[in-house]
Amino acid sequence: MRIRPIVASRMTAAGLALAASRLILPMTTALAQTPVSSGQIGEPTEQVTVTGSQIRQDTSSNTPITVITSKQLQDSNTVTLEQYLQKIPEFGQQGVNSNQNGGGEGVSFVELRNLGVTRTLVLIDGHRMVSSGTDTVNAVDLNNIPVSLVDHIEILRDGASAIYGSDAIAGVVNIILKKHFSGVMINAQEGISDRHDAQSYDFSGTAGYNFDKGNLLFNFEYSDRNPLPQNNRAWSQNKSLPDGSQSLGSTRTLGGLVQNPTAFDVVTGRSSINDRAFGNGVFRRFNPVTDDLLLNDYGYSSTQLDRRSFNALGHYEILPNVNLNIDELFTDHHAQQQLGPDAEGGDIVTNRYPNGFIIPASNPYNPYGVDVVDRTRRAEVGNRQYNESGSTYRLGIGLSGTILNRFDWEAGYKYGASNDKFTFTNQYNQTHILQVSGYLPCSAADAMQGCSVGNFFGRRIQVPERTPTPKTLFTPACPASNMLNCSLGVA
């Protein structure tokens, strides 16, 4: 078992923005002298906030923007924002999400134009959000944003690096939270696939109150998503591509294959192999159809997620055209993933022992007389389990207002923190197992603990058994006609 705590990131931000509306001057003298009809006098103009910049502009823009409303989210019955955004073509390959088993670590990222999740900026009410606590990438986890609190989402499908930097090269996703909600809204829903699996549950409650000069809002949300095993679908039960040109299975199998790295097959271009259980020294051609292991029997198509969120928002007009704004967001979550049994060999994370699990010729149990690579997955160890738990917190306070109905200003402070802990179980200590094979020498300290060369060949089985023998209350002489009651100790 390996436990790795991570304090992902802490974010503080303080800013002051002062922007003036752009003055639209007459393009030509003739245009300026054009009379205005009476029907056009007094018509109100609409203020438009352009996403991708905290500077407001009272001008029209051709910037491509997609807006998703809260009604669209509610009608879709999605538990997380990721589930809805996956359906939008602009988001390419969806980045890291719940459909990636063994790599997402319970987080959900988005990316525009397939430029990577670190090139798509995610904002909340125009402000940055603390990044997730994973070691995979530094980006905002959408699982930390409650769906029931979202008023709408603005997706800027154009680069905004001039305003925000390189993390907005692909675009900006600005999530606008509810500000003027009044009343009480409780929502509960349950979802299930048409195959009667992958159940999901969601419960949320929102309470808000509008008073003369402001609004106060509280929100709670709980969601639970059950995993979907990969082998529950026919399309993931085949380890080969549809045309049969390539196998996607693993060459490390449960029974075990022995690979001769120096003997290549001229047809397949791969090293020749032998079934480890026989150990007869006769190598044969590798057959990907029969020799590969289907890993889809062990993993998930959609991972498990359990999430709780507590939030509070408020704003109050303390002076004419001066508002006090506060927000608090807290999310606690737990995610679980599963993979097949660990493979003997190099560590794909640290890239240690890239040559794999080598059994040298010096091993007295090696029948081949040459160094071989053992390609085995130990089912007796169990499936690899990845558990991730953590919390994300953000607190903000600030002032905003308007001067002379022309200048918008804002000053505030944001603090955010994200903490995550990852627990990995049923994984090998690659150094110790290579010591048992004889490839690495046992240190003096390890030898005192029993480190020695072991036998990895041949057919063998270990079946622990235990047969409990209950005691009877008494053992009288039993006649054949009453043998059952006597055996049970019943008079």
Full DSSP string of 381-415: G-EEEEEEEEEEEEEEEEEEEEETTTEEEEEEEEE
Residue, of 435 and 296, whose pLDDT is higher: 435
Q: Is residue 346 predicted with pLDDT exceeding 90?
A: no
> Is a pLDDT exceeding 50 seen at residue 472?
no
Kindly state the percentage of the chain with pLDDT values over 90. Answer: 17
The per-residue pLDDT for 328 is: 95
Of 112 and 470, the one with more pLDDT? 112
Q: How many CA atoms lie within 13 A of 406 on its CB side?
A: 5
Of the two residues 38 and 169, the one the predictor is more confident about is 169
Q: Can you tell me the distance from the alpha carbon of 205 to that of 149, in angstroms, rounded to the nearest whole number?
A: 9
The answer, yes or no, to whether residue 140 has pLDDT greater than 50, is yes
How many residues can be counted in the chain? 491
Bigger pLDDT: 280 vs 169: 169
Yes or no: say if 116 and 98 are a contact pair by the CB < 8 Å rule: no
Would you place residue 58 in the very low, low, confident or very high pLDDT band (cuts 50, 70, 90)? Answer: very low
User: Which tens digit of pLDDT belongs to each residue from 142-167?
Assistant: 888 888 899 999 988 777 777 777 78
Q: How many CB atoms lie within 10 A of CB 397?
A: 13
At 4-54, the pLDDT tens digits run 444 444 454 444 444 333 333 333 333 333 444 444 444 444 444 444 455
Query: CA 206, CA 216: separation in Å to the nearest integer?
Result: 11
Determine the 3-state secondary structure of 289 from DSSP: helix
pLDDT, tens digit, 9 for 90 and up, residues 249-275: 677 777 677 777 666 554 455 556 666
Q: What is the pLDDT of residue 457?
A: 75
Q: How far is CA 124 from CA 5, 159, 173, 294, in A?
A: 27, 18, 9, 42
What percentage of the chain exceeds 70 in pLDDT?
A: 66
Q: Name, of 42-51, 177-186, 235-244, the range with top average pLDDT.
A: 177-186
Question: Domain spanning 2-24+47-232+297-342+377-428: which CATH class is it, in words?
Answer: mainly beta
How far apart (Å, rounded) are the C-alpha atoms in residues 275 and 262? 17
Per-residue pLDDT, 268: 53
Indicate the pairing of strand 120-124 with strand 171-177. Answer: parallel
For the cut 70, the answer to whether the pLDDT of residue 294 exceeds it is yes
Q: How far apart are CA 284 and CA 58, in angstroms?
A: 74
